[in-house]
Amino acid sequence: MSASEEVEQTTSIHHYADSSDMPDDIQKYWHQRYDIWSLYDEDVWMTNDAWFGVTPEPVANKIAEHLIEGTDPSKTIIIDAFAGVGGNAIAFARSGRWQQVFAIEKDAETMKCGKHNAEVYGVGSKIFWINGDCFEVLKKRLRSVAKDAVVFASPPWGGPSYNGDDVFDLKTMQPYSLKDLYDAYAAYARDFVLYLPRSSDLNQIAKYAPKYKNQRLEVTHYCMSGWSKAICIFFGEWTFE
């Protein structure tokens, strides 16, 4: 019995070898498996929910590149607040830019996937995982670290049905609204990035443009095959060309 077969019997962790093994509601992601993970066949582990929330590898790599371009070189620590099965944290670790990569994940099974996937991608020793609620962890364990770190957050958007409305309402996003996220991260970090739906209401985002930066706020679409997958909002001090 292989290690992944053993894991599958006792937990919600899976490495599906065929789409027919997947629950119906996530089968549509099967054809995207190599877009999500180029090393999918090397025994990448996923929970069922991770299929619709994980950042695809090319997008995660592009975000990691942008963070290198835009952050002050004096910043050496990055905190992935909703690390999930590891998509972004692995890209941050692989970029080689950060002396420390912290990955916070609330769900223990999901975190096991993230740790395992980091091993698959050869960066297992470069990520420090913390099992807990990111708001609690930032308040208590990482408080002194967070103020000089970059915080990256790819929160839940209320499930895969987020896509139903033409314009996504960030005030009613579940379980955390834009305001909840902004208030929580601004309390602990100066520089933070939110990964949000491509159809997010830009007027709601514009309200957070700071006066001291001439009312400018950097928002970037991340695309695959010419279609936006999601946006990032960059809060704090960023210098993009």
Interface residues with ligand MGP (CB under 6 A)?
A: 32, 52-53, 55-56, 154-157, 160, 162-163, 195, 229-230
**Given the complex with ligand MGP, which of 16 and 162 has the nearer CB atom?**
162
Token couple for 224: 């695959």
**Given the complex with ligand MGP, which of 55 and 117 has the nearer CB atom?**
55
DSSP string, 15-80: --SSGGGS-GGGGGGGGGHHHH-TTGGGT--B-TTHHHHSPPHHHHHHHHHHHHHHS-TT--EEEE
- Contact between residue 232 and residue 65 where contact means Cβ atoms under 8 Å apart: no
In whole angstroms, how close is the CB of 57 to ligand MGP at the nearest point?
10
Token couple for 98: 């950060």
**Given the complex with ligand MGP, which of 49 and 148 has the nearer CB atom?**
49
In whole angstroms, how close is the CB of 4 to ligand MGP at the nearest point?
23
In whole angstroms, how close is the CB of 176 to ligand MGP at the nearest point?
11
In whole angstroms, how close is the CB of 128 to ligand MGP at the nearest point?
21
**Given the complex with ligand MGP, which of 55 and 71 has the nearer CB atom?**
55
CA distances from residue 128 to 25, 46, 99, 125, 138 in whole angstroms, order as listed: 32, 19, 11, 8, 14
